[in-house]
Amino acid sequence: MSRKPLIAGNWKMNNTIGEAVVLAQEISNEFEPDWAETVDVAVCPPFVDLKPVKTVFEFDRTKIAVGAQNVYWEPSGAYTGEISVAMLKEIGCGYCIVGHSERRTLFGETNEDVNLKVKALLGEERDAIDPIICVGESLAVRDEGSYLEFVEAEVNAALAGVSEDEAAHVVIAYEPIWAIGTGRTATPEQAQEVCAHIRATVSALYGDDIAEGVRILYGGSMNEGNADLLMAQPDIDGGLIGGASLAAGSFIGVVKAAL
């Protein structure tokens, strides 16, 4: 089965509204309309930038989706500082990153939290916010050799209680923590090994048909110089791009590598 690649930019905590609108406009200007037939593209800015960035793309009729970087699983209520699925839906988010390693390590997010967020996004009537579930091992786990088991456990935990129909809408991003923001990209072979194992894990849960359709991204110092070799791997269906998504030229360079 051929899967449509997805290139998603994770802006992390960068860009005020003014800066975000400028960057979105630059990306929009460089994006050729027919690329959307071959590759799905999304940018994931901070919450406050979502609506302004969405407005830029809508105004230009540029087929680039916006995604959030986080969500809370309760529908509403006394959860100071949190953002609900309904709030993201109203903005028109197509994706939501869940369980990024920075949230796990800096903000104490657990596998159970990740699972609740995934289920909140996929639950109720489906309304098109696909979770981008981040998994990936630390350098200590990699050196110790148990990284496949570690990533498998993260995937299984994130998908606990997710139905087959829901699982078809999930995106999984393999982001080895040792490769994030370090300039030390996983080799295509290293990334492929884990992405293939993630697909096998999904297959064990839902069968080959679902597993063959689920998109698995690589993230970690991916840029226009290494994206094509990574995406040439059979189980790597795109990228979750951090630093290289913060300038239009380098982000568009990665998008072009997926064409």
Binding site for ligand 13P (CB under 6 A): 10, 100, 175, 180-181, 219-222, 240-244
Q: Would you state the structure tokens that stand for residue 69, as one six-digit string?
A: 């970087």
**CB 25, min distance to ligand 13P, A:** 22
| 214/244 with CB nearer ligand 13P | 244
| 180/255 with CB nearer ligand 13P | 180
**CB 190, min distance to ligand 13P, A:** 15
| 154/175 with CB nearer ligand 13P | 175
**CB 205, min distance to ligand 13P, A:** 24
CA distance 177 to 200: 21
Q: Are 245 and 10 in contact (CB under 8 A)?
A: yes
Q: Please give the residue whose beta carbon sits closest to ligand 13P in the complex.
A: 242
Active site residues: 100, 175
Q: What separation in angstroms does the CA of 151 have from each of 29, 162, 170, 212, 222?
A: 38, 18, 16, 18, 19
Segments in 64-187 forming alpha helices (H): 85-91, 101-107, 111-122, 139-144, 147-158, 164-167
Neighbours of 26 (CB within 10 A): 16
